[in-house]
Amino acid sequence: MIAYVTVGADDIMRAKRFYSALLPALGYGLEEGPEGLSYALPAQPGQSLIPPEFYVKPTFDGRPASAGNGSMVAFEARSQKQVRDLHAAGLSAGGSDEGQPGFRASYGAHFYVGYLRDPQGNKIAIFSNDPNEPGRDG
């Protein structure tokens, strides 16, 4: 089980603007501290495992943060519309487009995804895979 994911950021305020345009809509709460940003989903009653947290922090070694080649963090949305809305919100909050929302031939018929780069260059996916919504072939 993944316990947490961390991405580096040289400008925490730019990162906060970007991630705060996306993650609260997915249910994540934000805690800020001198070490950076912590986004977490609330634990549900009776839940023994807490979902992974997402951290945005300055680098520990003090060198510039960099995006990993081939690295990506994916967040699940509730619907295709939410994917579109969050992709647009991410662009408005300083992100850049890495792939407009839509279906991709390499994935299942209901996998609907949009890709962004955060202000630091980290690749972010927002996806929905709801079989009750229209699929790629219909």
Domain boundaries, the chain: 4-128
Q: What's the residue count for the chain? A: 138
pLDDT tens for each residue of 34-63: 889 999 998 888 877 677 899 999 998 999
Cβ atoms of 36 and 55 closer than 8 Å: yes
Contacts of 53 (CB under 8 A, 6+ apart): 3, 4, 5, 38, 39, 40
pLDDT tens for each residue of 55-97: 999 998 999 999 888 899 999 999 999 999 999 999 999 999 9
The average confidence (pLDDT) of the chain is 93
Percent of the chain with pLDDT over 90: 78
- 10 Å CB burial of residue 116 (0-12, 13-18, 19+) is buried
CATH architecture of the domain with range 4-128:
Roll (3.10)
Q: Is the pTM of this model over 0.85?
A: yes
